[in-house]
Amino acid sequence: MSDDSAQLVDAVRYARARQQTLAIAGLGSRAAVAPIADGAVLNVAEHRGILRYQPEELVVTVRAGTPVREVIAELARHRQMLAFEPTSFARDGSIGGMIAADASGASRPFAGGVRDALLGVEIINGLGEQGRFGGEVMKNVAGYDVARLQCGARGSCGVLLSASLRVAPIPDCERYIRRALAVDEVCAAMSELRSREPSLTGLAYADGVLQVRVAGSEPAVKAASARIPGDGGDSEFWRQISRHAHPNLSSPPASGGTLWRVSSAPNAPLTGDELLVDWAGGVRWLALDSPPRQATSAPGGWAMAVGGNRAGSIRGLDQATSDLLSRVRLAFDPDSVFAASSNDARGEAKAVQG
Amino acid sequence: MTTPLVLEMLRANLPAEGLITDPKAIKPFESDGLTAFSAMPWVVCLPDRESQVAAVLRICREHSIPVVTRGAGTGLSGGALPVAKGVLLVLSRLNKIKRIDAQQLTAVVEPGVRNLAVSEAAASVGLFYAPDPSSQIACSIGGNVAENAGGVHCLKYGLTVHNVLGVRGYLMTGEPVAIGGEAFDVPGADLLAVVHGSEGQMVVITEVTLRLRQIPRSKLVMMAAFAVVSNAADAVADVISAGIIPAGMEMMDKLAISAAEDFVGAGYPKDADAILLIELDGDVDEVQANRTAVERVLFAASADSVVVAESETEQARLWLGRKAAFPAVGRIAPDYYCMDGTIPRKAVAGVLQRIGELSQRYGLQVANVFHAGDGNLHPLILYDANVDGELDKAEAFGNDILAACVEAGGSVTGEHGVGIEKLDAMCGQFGRIELEQFARLRAAFDPDGLLNPGKAIPTLTRCSEVGGMHVHAGELPFRHLPRF
C-alpha cells in the first residue's frame, strides 16, 4: 500500500520539460498485447492498494498498480467479484494494465467488459496534471466519459492512477456443458442459445467441441442446464482461456505464423481455420502468416496480433477513426510524452496501411 | 458569402419543406423538455436522408454557423436548446428501423426512431431494448445516445452506453465516422463510450446499432411500505448486500406517494412515509426464490407491508403511480423543478434529510421520486413561477441539493445531462484541470466548437464568476484553447 502519485506527477513533468518520452509500465504481464514502449520507464507498479471498498455500494476503488489477483481475493471475502471477467497472461497483471489493455474475458457478451464496469478514474495527462473523471456512483453523465475512454487506450490518454470499478455478487452456482459440434453449425447454435438462455456467462468453441458456461442463482442454473443439450464439463477450459493458457492460444502458434485475435460480428461465418472461438462467436483466434483482411471487413470488425514481433498491432481501423484516435491522444498528451510501442494502436496510420 | 446564398445552399440540399425559416413555424422548436429556457434559431433543417446531414454540416462549417442537433426534444437539461443565429438540425425524420437481427440480438436504427418503438418492433422475436427513460414513448435513440439516457432498469441492464454496439455519423467537417459496429469491442481508446453523453458536441449521429436482450421468462413487482424514510433507504442497501440485483428498485416519499395516488389510484398507502417498488425478473424459479429472499430483507428492515403483483395488470398498476409521478406532482403545484443528482447508496438517508432541511429553509415543498438502486435522486421542487422570486429560490434550492450530492461523493447529473441547466453545478464537481481536459477532448472532434456550443461543459470564466472554482488573479491558463 503506497501512494506514488506525487512522484509520478513529478516524473511526467520532468520528462515533458526535457522533451523525453516515458514508457508507462505496470507489472509487465501483457507484453503479448501491449509491449512496453521505448523510453524511460515510468513504473506504476508500486502505486498500489485498495482505497475504498464497501460491498453494499457495489464499487471498489483501487490504485492502478494493484495486482488484479489481490483485488479479486479481497472482493471474494465478501462473496463479490469484479462485475466482468478479467483476463490475464501467465503472470498476474495490474488493475491499470487490465484497463489499458481492455482485458475482458469470456463473459463479455453477457455481463459486459472492463468498460462497462469502469465508473471513474484518476489520471495524469501528458501535461503532468492530475485529474479525476467519473466517480464511484452507478450513474453519472456529468462531463465527457474520460473514464471509459481509457479502456483499450494502452496509456495513450494518460497514466492511470486509480480506478473505481463496479462489482457484483459471486453467483451461487456455476455449471459447464459441452457437446461435439461441426464447425458449420457453431454460429447457429451459439446464436440460438444466446437468444433464449438468460444465465449464460460463456459460449466458446475449440477442437470440435462447443463449450457452454452458465452461472447465477441455483434455480436459474438448474433450469438452464436442463434446457441446454450436452454433457457436463468442468471449469478447466474456462480457466485456461481466461489466462491465455489454452494450448490453442499458444504464441507462436504450433502451426506457425502469428496468433491473431479477431473481433467480429458474432454470426459472421467461420472458416474452419479458427483455433478457438470465444465471446459467443464475437472473438476468433487464428494463426496467420500475414495480417487478416477478410475477417475485419464486417462493420466494426478488427484484429490484433498477440505475441510475436507484431505483438499488439491492430488491423481494421479506418482512416477517419485512426485520425480521430490520434487527435484524442494529443488532447491528453499534446507533447507526446507517453511513448508508443512501434506496434501500438498509436501507430494508427501505419496500422491501416498494414 | 451572404445569408440568402447560404439559405439557398441549405435549401438545395434538403427535401421540400425540410428548411423552416418562418419564425411562426420555428417557434415550436425554441425549447426542448426544459421549457424554462428558450431561444429562436436562425433556421430549422429537417433532413430525411443521411447525405443531407453531411451537406448541412459542410455548409455550416464553411460559414462558421453553429449547429444544434435535436431529436424529439424531450431532454430535461436544455441540451437541445437552439443557439440564436445557429442552425437547428432536427433528425426526427431519420426514423427508420433498418434491421432487427434476432440471431445477433441487435437492432440497427436511425437516430429519430423512438425508444419504445425498438422494443415494440423486437417483441415479436422475444427481444427488447433495455434502457427505458421515462419519456420512452416520445424520446428518440439519437438523443438517448447524446445524453446517455437511463431509466428504471439501469441497476441490472445499464445505461445507454452499455446497450449500444456502434454508431455512425458525421463530424462537424462533414467527414463520416463509424465507431464500433456489430462486434462487441472497439480497437484502441474507447471512442464509442466518449460519444455517449457528449450532448451532440462530438458527432452528429445518423445510425445506431443497439444491443437487444431476451424478454425475461418471468417478472414480478413488489411494493413495500415504510413508516420511516431511512428504513426504506437502508432496505435498498440490504437487498443488494443479500446478493440480489433487482431489475429495478424505485423509491417515493410521502408527498410523491400522495400526489401519485390522487392522480392515478395505483393503490399506494398514503399513510406511509416511503414506498419501495422492486421489480424482479429472470427464470420462473429464480424469481420466486428471490421474492422470498427480498421479502425477508424488507420485513427485517421494518417494512410495514409488502404487496406482490404477479399478474401483468397488477404490475402495470403498481408501476403506473411511479411512471405518472412527475405529472402527478405537476397537478399539485403550478410549477416544479426536477433535479437529477446521484449519490452512493449509503448516503441516501442523509441526503434526503438534508433536502428536508433545505425545503424548510427555502419554504418550498419537495417531492422525492428516485431510482434508489442506483442512488439516482429526482427531487421535484414545487414552486410558482408567477410569484416573484420563486423561480430563483427554486433554482438556488436545486443547486444546494446538487452541492449536497457532490459532497456525499456523487454527481450533479445521473441521466438527464448537463445541457444548459447544470453548467454552474459542474463548477462544483470539476476543477480547472478537468474542464480544460474536456475542452481539448471536444476540440479533437470539433476544433471550432460549432456543434452545440455553450452546453455540457462550463467555461473557466463562468466557473470563476459563480465562485465554484478559484482562478488566480483572473489568469486563465492555456488561453489558446477554445472556450465554451
Range of the domain at B458: 423-474
Domain-embedded: residue A283 = yes
User: Residues in chain A with pLDDT < 50?
Assistant: 347-354
| CATH (domain of B367) | 3.30.70.2740
Same-domain check for residues A179 and A166: no
Query: Hunting for cell 399506494 — which residue is that?
Result: B268
Please state the domain count of chain A: 2
More confident residue, B278 or A294: B278
Q: For B105-154, what is each residue's pLDDT tens digit? A: 999 999 999 999 999 999 999 999 999 998 899 999 999 999 999 999 99
Interchain proximity B411–A222, CB inside 8 Å = no
pLDDT of residue B473: 38
The pTM is what? 0.95
- Portion 18-37 of A in contact with B at CB < 8 A: none
| The pLDDT of residue B469 is above 60 | no
Q: Which residues contact A27 (CB under 8 A, 6 or more apart)?
A: A45, A65, A67, A91, A92, A93, A94, A97
pLDDT of residue B157: 96
pLDDT of residue A65: 98
For A103-172, strand residue ranges (E) read: 118-124, 130-134, 159-169
pLDDT of residue A349: 40
Same-domain check for residues A265 and A197: yes
Of B190, B342, B429, the CB nearest to A149: B190
Same-domain check for residues A31 and A61: yes
> How many pairs of residues across A and B have Cβ atoms under 8 Å apart?
291
Q: Which of B152, B173, B194 to mutate to test the interface with A (most CBs of A within 10 A)?
A: B194
Same-domain check for residues B126 and B55: no
Same-domain check for residues B102 and B204: yes
pLDDT of residue B484: 32
Same-domain check for residues A121 and A29: yes
Point out which residues pair with B221 in neighbouring strands.
B279, B309
Closest CA to B64 of B158, B147, B172: B172
Domain-embedded: residue A265 = yes
Instruction: Confirm or reject contact between A76 and chain B (CB < 8 A).
Output: no
Of A168, A194, A327, the CB nearest to B444: A327
Range of the domain at A247: 173-306
Instruction: Confirm or reject contact between A77 and chain B (CB < 8 A).
Output: no
Same-domain check for residues A60 and A101: yes
Instruction: Confirm or reject contact between A111 and chain B (CB < 8 A).
Output: no
Q: Which helix (DSSP H) or strand (DSSP E) does residue B106 occupy?
A: strand B106-109
Q: How far is CA A274 from CA A105, A186, A261, B37, B401, in A?
A: 18, 12, 10, 57, 56
More confident residue, B446 or B3: B446
Domain-embedded: residue B145 = yes
| The pLDDT of residue B324 is above 90 | no
Same-domain check for residues B257 and B205: no
Domain-embedded: residue A164 = yes
Same-domain check for residues B101 and B203: yes
Closest CA to A310 of A270, A265, A350: A350
Domain-embedded: residue A311 = no
Q: For B383-392, what is each residue's pLDDT tens digit? A: 998 999 999 9
Same-domain check for residues A238 and A164: no
ipTM of the modeled complex? 0.96
Same-domain check for residues B180 and B228: no
Same-domain check for residues B287 and B382: no
Among B151, B180, B214, residue at a domain's last position: B214
Interchain proximity B177–A320, CB inside 8 Å = yes
Same-domain check for residues B107 and B203: yes
Cα distance between residue A13 and residue A10, in whole Å: 5
Q: For B332-369, what is each residue's pLDDT tens digit? A: 999 999 999 999 988 999 999 999 999 999 999 999 99
Same-domain check for residues A10 and A69: yes
Interchain proximity B104–A302, CB inside 8 Å = no
- From first CA to last CA, the distance across chain B in angstroms is 26
| The pLDDT of residue B214 is above 70 | yes
- From first CA to last CA, the distance across chain A in angstroms is 43
Q: How far is CA A293 from CA A267, A287, A289, A304, A335, in A?
A: 17, 13, 12, 12, 33
Same-domain check for residues B136 and B33: no
pLDDT of residue B471: 39
The whole-chain average pLDDT of chain B stands at 93
* Out of A303-317, B6-20, B267-281, least confident range: A303-317
Question: Please, which pLDDT band fits residue B3 given cuts at 50, 70 and 90?
Answer: confident
| The pLDDT of residue B480 is above 90 | no
